[in-house]
């Protein structure tokens, strides 16, 4: 046109259509394609000449073709420029049968002959992903404001990561315990429930590498998880100061590898999720801090009033016991023993109340955290109890083994025992640390088991010079006892 201002307008229009980044399809009143621009091939896989003469419905998903014919006929009766299906999440059908998100604008074309209509079609994949990311963060934020637990937030994060990454599975891997062992704590996808609670070996796994602060890692298969051997991607959920965990997504075998766009989308989502999780932790910290003063008051009242009164009552009963005969004397003696046990339990409660919120170095708190992490897998939250100066007497090397055994025991109770009630008791008995986990499930397995969980727990006990037993509980269930010397 610059060389020849007299160039006819139709030729200039052809040049503009050919240069358009949007795919343009022109149809007649009967829905037959009469013109298609080169961009159609990139979006749908058809060469422009292949589409000419075909019904436009070849670009519409099979299940929507009948309704599309009706909508197209109605539009032809009252044509005007407008977007098509605004807010409906339109999909186009590619030549290979795959589907692609699209945005479509319609416009009637001036024509001396039969009426013609143009559809301007744009690939909406990235826009839909951005909308999905915003919706995901909105849902996580609403769950945060509603006071949902960290486990719920991570489950939501895994679900949305799977969707945004067009993946079959997604899991959240969080560092736990003093040894910062990477553990699968939440997930989404078929079969993922069986993985929740599982440790990932620190060195071989690419998820563990991301936990250490390395760049996002994509691999050709998910051998670390064993879900199906498809492409996998690990993305850190982190802010400037802290790595909270890793989102690991995995696709089916034969699926496309994770490309730069996939990584960018999931990185942006993970960064937003990190902000929400950090806010959730900050909110929880404030709530814990607000309870410190009340805990101190309760602890003082228990020590200065309740224990003293119970102790005085016990002394009075002991004095009366010496003046009475059997069987009343025996019953009084039993009452005195029960008062002593109550005083011990209250002292343990006072110790718990006086611990700083989220204080590190507490064996009790680390055990409680492991139990809390396992709670989403259980029918009801496990009960936890302690006896003795656990925090001051249990060395760090024993604590690492203890936490791993608690984690494995709870995972077994959730996956295999079909238990409704689980109780965890950690106590000091003489010079031994004793862990007892009881449940009301189907009982211990008969014969050898396929997994390594029981063998690992037994091996940990043997390494420390202790022992591990698993026995039936009456009337039903299992009793697991893990006992190791600490002195």
* CATH for 169: 3.30.450.40
Residue with tokens 């003082």: 300
Is the separation of the CB atoms in 422 and 382 below 8 Å? Answer: yes
Give the CA distances from residue 371 to residues 209, 366, 374, 403, 433, in Å, rounded to whole numbers and listed in that order: 25, 9, 5, 9, 18
Please give the full DSSP string across 45-61, using - where no structure is assigned: S--HHHHTTSBGGGGS-
- Residue 7: predicted pLDDT: 41
Asked, for residue 166, whether it belongs to a domain, the answer is yes
175-198 per-residue burial string, b: 16 or more CB within 10 A, e: under 16: bbbeeebbbbbbbbbeebeebbbb
Asked, for residue 312, whether it belongs to a domain, the answer is no
Final residue before a domain boundary, out of 123, 141, 175: 123
- Residue 2: predicted pLDDT: 36
Same domain for 146 and 199, yes or no, is yes
Residue with tokens 């002394």: 315
Number of domains, the chain: 3
- Residue 286: predicted pLDDT: 67
Same domain for 207 and 65, yes or no, is no
d(CA 192, CA 196): 7
- Residues 182/262/218/205 CA torsion (nearest 10 deg): 10
Q: What is the pLDDT of residues 67-84, one digit of tens each?
A: 888 888 888 888 888 887
User: How is the chain split among helix, strand and coil, in percent rounded to 5?
Assistant: 45, 20, 30
Same domain for 154 and 274, yes or no, is yes
Same domain for 262 and 155, yes or no, is yes
d(CA 471, CA 474): 10
Tokens standing for 162? 């799977």
Q: At what angle do helices 328-353 and 260-301 cross, to 10 degrees?
A: 130
Domain ranges, residue 74:
9-123
Bridge partners of 422, per DSSP, are: 439
Asked, for residue 175, whether it belongs to a domain, the answer is yes
Same domain for 101 and 27, yes or no, is yes
- Residue 8: predicted pLDDT: 44
Asked, for residue 298, whether it belongs to a domain, the answer is no
Tokens standing for 309? 């009164």
- Residue 354: predicted pLDDT: 58
First to last CA, the chain: 94
Same domain for 137 and 274, yes or no, is yes
Going through 162-297 in order, the beta strands assigned E by DSSP cover: 169-176, 181-188, 217-219, 232-238, 243-250
- Residue 264: predicted pLDDT: 84
The SS3 call for residue 326 is: coil
Regions of the chain with pLDDT less than 50: 1-9, 357-360
Residues 6+ apart with CB under 8 A from 18: 37, 38
Asked, for residue 224, whether it belongs to a domain, the answer is yes
CATH of the domain at 368: 3.30.565.10
């Amino acid at each position: 046109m610059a060389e020849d201002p007299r160039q006819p307008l139709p030729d200039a229009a052809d040049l503009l259509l050919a240069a358009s980044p949007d795919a343009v399809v022109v149809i007649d009143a009967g829905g037959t394609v009469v013109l298609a621009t080169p961009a159609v091939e990139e979006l749908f896989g058809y060469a422009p000449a292949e589409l000419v003469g075909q019904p436009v419905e070849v670009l519409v998903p099979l299940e929507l073709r009948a309704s599309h014919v009706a909508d197209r006929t109605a539009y032809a009766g009252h044509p005007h420029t407008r977007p098509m299906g605004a807010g409906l999440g339109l999909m186009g059908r590619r030549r290979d049968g795959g589907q692609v998100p699209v945005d479509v604008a319609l416009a009637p074309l001036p024509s001396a002959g039969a009426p013609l209509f143009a559809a301007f079609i744009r690939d909406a994949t990235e826009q839909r992903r951005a909308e999905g990311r915003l919706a995901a963060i909105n849902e996580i934020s609403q769950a945060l404001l509603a006071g949902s637990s960290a486990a719920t937030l991570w489950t939501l994060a895994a679900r949305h990561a799977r969707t945004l990454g067009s993946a079959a599975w997604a899991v959240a891997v969080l560092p736990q315990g003093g040894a910062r062992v990477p553990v699968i704590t939440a997930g989404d996808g078929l079969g993922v429930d069986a993985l929740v609670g599982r440790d990932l070996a620190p060195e071989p796994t690419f998820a563990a590498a991301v936990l250490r602060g390395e760049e996002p890692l994509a691999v050709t298969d998910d051998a670390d998880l064993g879900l199906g051997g498809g492409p996998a991607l690990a993305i850190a959920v982190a802010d400037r100061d802290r790595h909270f965990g890793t989102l690991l997504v995995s696709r089916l075998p034969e699926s496309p590898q994770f490309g730069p766009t996939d990584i960018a989308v999931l990185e942006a989502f993970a960064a937003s999720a990190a902000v929400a999780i950090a806010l959730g932790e900050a909110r929880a910290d404030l709530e814990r801090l607000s309870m410190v003063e009340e805990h101190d008051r309760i602890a003082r009242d228990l020590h200065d009033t309740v224990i003293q009164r119970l102790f005085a009552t016990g002394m009075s009963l002991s004095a009366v016991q010496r003046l009475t005969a059997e069987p009343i004397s025996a019953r009084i003696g039993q009452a005195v023993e029960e008062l002593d046990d109550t005083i011990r339990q209250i002292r343990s409660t006072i110790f718990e109340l006086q611990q700083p919120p989220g204080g590190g170095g507490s064996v009790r708190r680390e055990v409680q955290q492991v139990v809390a992490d396992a709670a989403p897998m259980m029918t009801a939250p496990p009960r936890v109890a302690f006896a003795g100066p656990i925090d001051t007497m249990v060395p760090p090397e024993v604590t690492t083994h203890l936490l791993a055994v608690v984690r494995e025991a709870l995972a077994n109770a959730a996956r295999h025992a079909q238990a409704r009630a689980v109780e965890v008791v950690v106590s000091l008995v003489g010079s031994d640390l004793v862990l007892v986990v009881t449940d009301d499930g189907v009982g211990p397995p008969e014969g050898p088991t396929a997994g390594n969980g029981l063998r690992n727990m037994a091996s940990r006990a043997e390494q420390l010079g202790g022992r591990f037993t698993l026995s039936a509980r009456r009337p039903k269930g299992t009793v697991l006892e893990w006992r190791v010397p600490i002195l």
